[in-house]
Amino acid sequence: EAGVTQFPSHSVIEKGQTVTLRCDPISGHDNLYWYRRVMGKEIKFLLHFVKESKQDESGMPNNRFLAERTGGTYSTLKVQPAELEDSGVYFCASSLLSAGNYGYTFGSGTRLTVV
C-alpha cells in the first residue's frame, strides 16, 4: 500500500510569491488533515477534509492560505502571498476514520522556506 505522498519535499520562495503544496493520501482514506510545524514551535493542526468537504478549518492562520480537495482525492494547500512567518514544515495525514481511534499515517512533509 502506498503511503501518504507530499510534494515538493522542499520549496524555497521569495516573500510575496505563491506556493502550492500537494498531498496524496492513502487510497480510500476519506479523511485528510494538514498540519504545520513552524521552527521551534509545536506541530499545529491546520484543517481537516472529509472527502472533498472541509470539516474543520479552525487552524488555518489567515486568508492567505487556501486548501482544496477537489474530487475527494488529493489535496492542495496554496499560500498566496507567502510571508516569512509561513516558513516551516507542512505535514499531511490521512485516515479511514475521523475519530482518530487508530492513529494516522503522515507524509514526509514539505519544508517551506520563505526568504
**Where on the chain is the footprint of another protein (CB under 8 A)?**
4, 6, 31, 33, 35, 41-45, 48, 50, 55-56, 59, 91, 93, 95, 97-109
Closer CB to another protein, 56 or 68, in the complex: 56
Closer CB to another protein, 87 or 105, in the complex: 105
Point out which residues pair with 34 in neighbouring strands. Answer: 47, 92
Q: How far is the CB of 61 from another protein (least distance, A)?
A: 15
Would you give the DSSP letter of residue 52?
T
* Cell numbers found for residue 44: 499545529
Q: How far is the CB of 45 from another protein (least distance, A)?
A: 5
Nearest to 48 by CA among 60, 39, 57: 57
